[in-house]
């Protein structure tokens, strides 16, 4: 399955001031990641409409963003509730980093046996590490901390795509 070009990164939750600024709830690593972008996209049917960012800053865990052509409170109100996407190519990921959207839905595979033990259904982001929620092939769910002791390798593309893990007794429930 090809990787998505556009990734959900924010949602407009309110306006800010009277000059068209929108307050975005961030679904990226940080509001700074959103503020660093020059363009965001709004989904329009199957297409993505580009919106040029003219100004962006962080405030209380949110991103305050001004767009070209959105200059009044009334313009900004029309964006409330809209989801914003970013082009994956606009991010500079550190070596080895992956987008959450690329990991969710991958099979979880035992590193030693090659057995498929589940599918990543959700990734909960935390301060010290992420937690992978896995829907077990035997039923139920279990969690795996995103640390090298358990998550051995992640392949997001190709025939070898999957999250390769080494679990300890009792982790699977």
Q: Pairing state of beta strands 107-110 and 162-165? A: parallel
Q: Which helix (H) or strand (E) holds 34?
A: helix 31-35
Q: How does residue 97 score in pLDDT terms, banded at 50, 70 and 90?
A: confident
Q: What is the mean pLDDT of residues 2-11?
A: 91
Q: Which domains does the chain have, with CATH numbers?
A: 6-90 (2.40.30.60), 102-165 (2.30.30.240)
pTM of the model: 0.77
pLDDT at 1: 63
Query: Residues 41, 84: contact at Cβ < 8 Å?
Result: yes
Q: What is the pLDDT of residues 110-169, one digit of tens each?
A: 999 999 999 999 998 877 888 999 999 999 999 999 999 999 999 999 999 999 999 999
pLDDT at 126: 74
Report the candidate in 48, 59, 116, 106 with the shortest Cα–Cα distance to residue 82: 48
**pLDDT score of 95 more than 90:** no
State phi, psi for 145 to the nearest 5 degrees: -70, 145
CA pair distance 120, 154, nearest whole angstrom: 12
């Amino acid at each position: 399955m090809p990787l998505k070009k556009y990734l959900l990164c924010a949602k407009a939750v309110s306006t800010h001031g009277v000059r068209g600024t929108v307050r975005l709830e961030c679904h990226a690593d940080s509001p700074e990641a959103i503020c660093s972008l020059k363009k965001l996209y709004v989904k329009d049917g199957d297409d993505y409409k580009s919106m040029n960012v003219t100004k962006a800053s962080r405030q209380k865990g949110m991103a305050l963003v001004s767009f070209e052509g959105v200059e009044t409170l009334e313009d900004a109100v029309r964006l409330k509730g809209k989801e914003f996407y970013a082009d994956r190519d606009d991010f500079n990921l550190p070596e080895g980093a992956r987008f959450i959207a690329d990991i969710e839905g991958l099979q979880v595979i035992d590193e030693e046996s090659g057995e498929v033990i589940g599918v990543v259904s959700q990734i909960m982001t935390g301060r010290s590490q992420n937690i992978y929620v896995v829907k077990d092939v035997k039923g139920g769910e279990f969690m795996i901390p995103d640390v090298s002791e358990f998550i051995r390798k992640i392949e997001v593309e190709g025939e070898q795509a999957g999250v390769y893990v080494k679990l300890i007794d009792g982790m699977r429930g």
